[in-house]
Amino acid sequence: MTEVKAELVGNVWKVVAAPGDKVEEDDILVILESMKMEIPVVAPRAGTVKEIRVKETDVVKEGQVLAVLE
Protein backbone atom coordinates (compact mmCIF):
# COMPACT_ATOMS: atom_id res chain seq x y z
CA MET A 1 0.00 0.00 0.00
CA THR A 2 1.27 3.41 -0.94
CA GLU A 3 -0.25 6.64 0.27
CA VAL A 4 -0.09 9.50 -2.20
CA LYS A 5 0.09 12.85 -0.45
CA ALA A 6 -0.37 16.49 -1.40
CA GLU A 7 2.95 18.28 -1.77
CA LEU A 8 1.44 21.64 -0.94
CA VAL A 9 -1.73 23.32 0.22
CA GLY A 10 -4.36 23.85 -2.48
CA ASN A 11 -7.76 22.73 -3.67
CA VAL A 12 -8.78 19.72 -5.70
CA TRP A 13 -9.28 20.82 -9.30
CA LYS A 14 -9.98 17.44 -10.87
CA VAL A 15 -10.12 13.84 -9.72
CA VAL A 16 -8.72 11.87 -12.63
CA ALA A 17 -8.43 8.29 -11.34
CA ALA A 18 -11.12 6.19 -9.66
CA PRO A 19 -10.90 3.29 -7.22
CA GLY A 20 -10.17 0.07 -9.07
CA ASP A 21 -8.21 1.80 -11.87
CA LYS A 22 -4.95 0.20 -12.88
CA VAL A 23 -2.28 2.87 -13.12
CA GLU A 24 1.31 3.07 -14.33
CA GLU A 25 4.05 5.06 -12.63
CA ASP A 26 3.59 8.79 -13.30
CA ASP A 27 -0.07 8.44 -14.29
CA ILE A 28 -2.07 11.40 -12.99
CA LEU A 29 -4.39 10.57 -10.09
CA VAL A 30 -5.62 13.99 -9.02
CA ILE A 31 -4.99 17.54 -10.20
CA LEU A 32 -4.69 20.16 -7.48
CA GLU A 33 -4.99 23.86 -8.01
CA SER A 34 -2.74 26.16 -6.04
CA MET A 35 -1.26 29.55 -6.79
CA LYS A 36 -3.05 29.64 -10.17
CA MET A 37 -1.34 26.42 -11.26
CA GLU A 38 -2.73 23.02 -12.08
CA ILE A 39 -0.56 20.65 -10.14
CA PRO A 40 -0.75 17.03 -11.22
CA VAL A 41 -0.40 14.45 -8.45
CA VAL A 42 0.98 11.30 -10.03
CA ALA A 43 1.27 7.65 -9.06
CA PRO A 44 4.70 7.07 -7.51
CA ARG A 45 4.59 3.49 -8.86
CA ALA A 46 2.41 1.17 -10.93
CA GLY A 47 -0.54 -0.42 -9.11
CA THR A 48 -4.24 -0.34 -8.53
CA VAL A 49 -6.08 2.62 -7.05
CA LYS A 50 -7.56 1.45 -3.76
CA GLU A 51 -9.00 4.72 -2.53
CA ILE A 52 -9.40 8.32 -3.61
CA ARG A 53 -9.86 10.27 -0.40
CA VAL A 54 -10.78 13.67 -1.83
CA LYS A 55 -13.41 15.16 -4.10
CA GLU A 56 -13.32 18.14 -6.42
CA THR A 57 -13.22 21.58 -4.70
CA ASP A 58 -11.94 20.06 -1.43
CA VAL A 59 -9.21 22.11 0.22
CA VAL A 60 -6.19 19.95 1.07
CA LYS A 61 -3.24 20.53 3.35
CA GLU A 62 0.40 19.75 2.67
CA GLY A 63 1.00 16.10 3.48
CA GLN A 64 -2.68 15.15 3.35
CA VAL A 65 -3.35 11.72 1.83
CA LEU A 66 -5.17 12.11 -1.47
CA ALA A 67 -5.16 8.54 -2.73
CA VAL A 68 -4.03 5.08 -1.77
CA LEU A 69 -2.47 2.61 -4.20
CA GLU A 70 -2.10 -1.13 -3.74
Which listed range, 14-22, 36-44, 45-53, lies at the site for other proteins (CB under 8 A)? 36-44
Q: How far from the centroid of its chain's Cα atoms is residue 64's Cα?
A: 10
For other proteins, the closer of residues 22 and 25 by Cβ is 25
- Exposed/middle/buried for residue 67 (C-beta within 10 Å: 0-12, 13-18, 19+): buried
Q: Does the protein bind other proteins through residue 55 (CB under 8 A)?
A: no
Q: Does the protein bind other proteins through residue 46 (CB under 8 A)?
A: no
Which residues in this chain contact other proteins in the complex, by CB under 8 A?
Answer: 7-9, 26, 33-40, 62
